Amino acid sequence: MPATTAAPPTPSSVPDTATFRTVLGQVPTAVSVVTAATPQGPVGVTVGSFTSVSLDPPLVVFYCGLHSASAAALVSAGAFCVNVLSEHQEAVCASFAGRTADRFACCTWHPAVNGAPRLDGAVAWIECSVENSFPAGDHLAVVGRVDRLAAAPGHDGPLVFHRGRLTRLDGTRDRHVPTQRFDWWDI
């Protein structure tokens, strides 16, 4: 094993906001737009914190700003659609992350079975019923029970947020790398 001359950084016990963002920015996340149908019209918001929670029952969770009007509308709607953006949808990400009057003007969409907008060009769609929501620090956690889901045919990868920037997966993503099965995951 080669010797290193620099000692590893000392972990901080109580991180400041900048350090927290920098360190957690090392974790890449897929960028999604969560949408819903409301009596006032469609709503949607860009989220970078979305993940699966459970296989049985099938649950997912996303996080929005605690005081976000979009988050409140998504929860009140009772159903939503997670649109996992493709690597070519930077403009869609920006539109739904901003405070524009008509976020849906940037893209085409059609209603999913639950009525929520399903954005054309996304690499995957997950239609959910709101299972629960609760405050999580300065965010609102919204847990959804998966009702339907689909992946787009083709080879586009997801749009990824990493180190404070939008990026794409490496071009070698289709290269097969032998790995061990993850059977240990459920232990």
Q: What is the CATH number of the domain that holds 121?
A: 2.30.110.10
The reply to whether 2 falls in a domain is no
What pLDDT is attached to residue 48?
A: 84
pLDDT at residue 136 is higher than 70: yes
The reply to whether 153 falls in a domain is yes
Structural domains counted in the chain: 1
The reply to whether 175 falls in a domain is no
The reply to whether 171 falls in a domain is no
Q: Which domain holds residue 79?
A: 28-163
- Extract the tokens encoding 125: 């769609």
Give the closest residue to 34 by CA, choosing from 66, 67, 61.
61
The reply to whether 134 falls in a domain is yes
Is residue 91 very low, low, confident or very high in pLDDT (cuts 50, 70, 90)? very high
- Extract the tokens encoding 25: 């920015």
| Average confidence (pLDDT) over 95-110 | 89
Model confidence pLDDT, tens digit, residues 24-41: 666 677 899 999 999 999
Indicate the range of 74-83, 115-124, 156-165, 169-178 predicted with least confidence.
Answer: 169-178
The reply to whether 172 falls in a domain is no
The reply to whether 183 falls in a domain is no
The reply to whether 20 falls in a domain is no
